[in-house]
């Protein structure tokens, strides 16, 4: 089944188009990019949520990444922040090849996974910045079918790049690392606080 792709708001899409046009005018992006762009919603999951055994329901949408090009044309990845509240969306960064084309190729691999052919999912991306981990998050749209995580950037030996894991298995690998990191950070904060109170 084709992956469901969430659509950004009109304001977010306009911020992307405006930001990219400015980069082209400044000669920082190729002028011959394809018109079509593939937006992906990036969710962020914190250390504390993982360490406490909470799932991806604690992940928060943070930014959109628009993938453009690939397959013989230059690849560009444009990031647009759309924070909650009254602030308007705006382009925050732009990345060129090889990172952009790698992201496009990885997306195509996810679309071709056997699980994707059998079940219905929404395509998302998940970041655990504190652990330098990024994964595609396939949010299940079928009852009884678990969400999947496909790491594309991982520092842990138990997680193979571009292999699909049930989300709970993925998080169970991260949990002990998150617990250690969270505890270490708590000790550093307590030490810093104690130093300031003297």
136: in domain: yes
Residue 5 lies in a domain: no
Count the Cβ atoms, other than its own, within 10 Å of residue 16.
Answer: 23
The model's confidence at residue 195, banded by pLDDT at 50, 70 and 90, is low
- Looking at the structure of the chain, the number of domains it has is 1
Going through the chain in order, the beta strands assigned E by DSSP cover 38-44, 60-68, 76-81, 90-96, 121-128, 133-140, 148-153, 165-166
Phi, psi dihedrals of residue 65, rounded to the nearest 5°? -115, 130
**Between residues 90 and 74, which one has the greater pLDDT?**
90
184 part of a folded domain: yes
The confidence score (pLDDT) of residue 70 equals: 75
The C-alpha atoms of residue 49 and residue 64 are separated, in whole angstroms, by 22
Q: Express as a percent the part of the chain with pLDDT over 70.
A: 97
Which conformational region is residue 14 in: left (phi greater than 0), alpha (psi within -120 to 50 degrees), or beta? alpha
The reply to whether 182 falls in a domain is yes
81 is a domain residue: yes
Predicted confidence at residue 151, as pLDDT, reads 95
Residue 122 lies in a domain: yes
pLDDT in tens, 135-164: 999 999 999 999 999 999 876 788 899 999
Domain of residue 151, residue span: 10-196
35 part of a folded domain: yes
Is residue 3 in a domain?
A: no
Q: Give per-residue pLDDT as tens, 88-102.
A: 999 999 998 888 889
Average pLDDT value over all residues in the chain? 89
Are 54 and 171 a contacting pair, CB within 8 Å?
no
């Amino acid at each position: 089944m084709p992956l469901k792709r969430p659509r950004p708001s009109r304001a977010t899409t306009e911020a992307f188009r405006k930001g990219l046009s400015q980069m082209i005018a400044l000669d920082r992006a190729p002028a011959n990019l394809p018109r079509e762009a593939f937006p992906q919603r990036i969710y962020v999951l914190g250390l504390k949520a993982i360490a406490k055994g909470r799932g991806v329901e604690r992940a928060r949408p943070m930014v959109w990444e628009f993938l453009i090009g690939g397959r013989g044309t230059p690849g560009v990845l444009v990031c647009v922040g759309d924070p909650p509240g009254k602030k308007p969306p705006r382009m925050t960064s732009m990345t060129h090849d090889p990172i952009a084309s790698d992201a496009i190729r990885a997306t195509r691999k996810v679309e071709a996974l056997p699980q994707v052919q059998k079940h219905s999912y929404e395509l998302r991306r998940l970041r655990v910045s504190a652990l330098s981990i990024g994964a595609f998050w396939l949010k299940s749209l079928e009852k009884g079918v678990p969400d999947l995580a496909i790491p594309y950037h991982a520092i842990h030996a138990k997680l193979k790049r571009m292999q699909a894991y049930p989300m709970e298995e993925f998080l169970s690998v991260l949990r002990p690392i998150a617990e250690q990191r969270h505890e270490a950070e708590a000790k550093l904060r307590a030490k810093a606080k104690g130093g300031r109170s003297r």
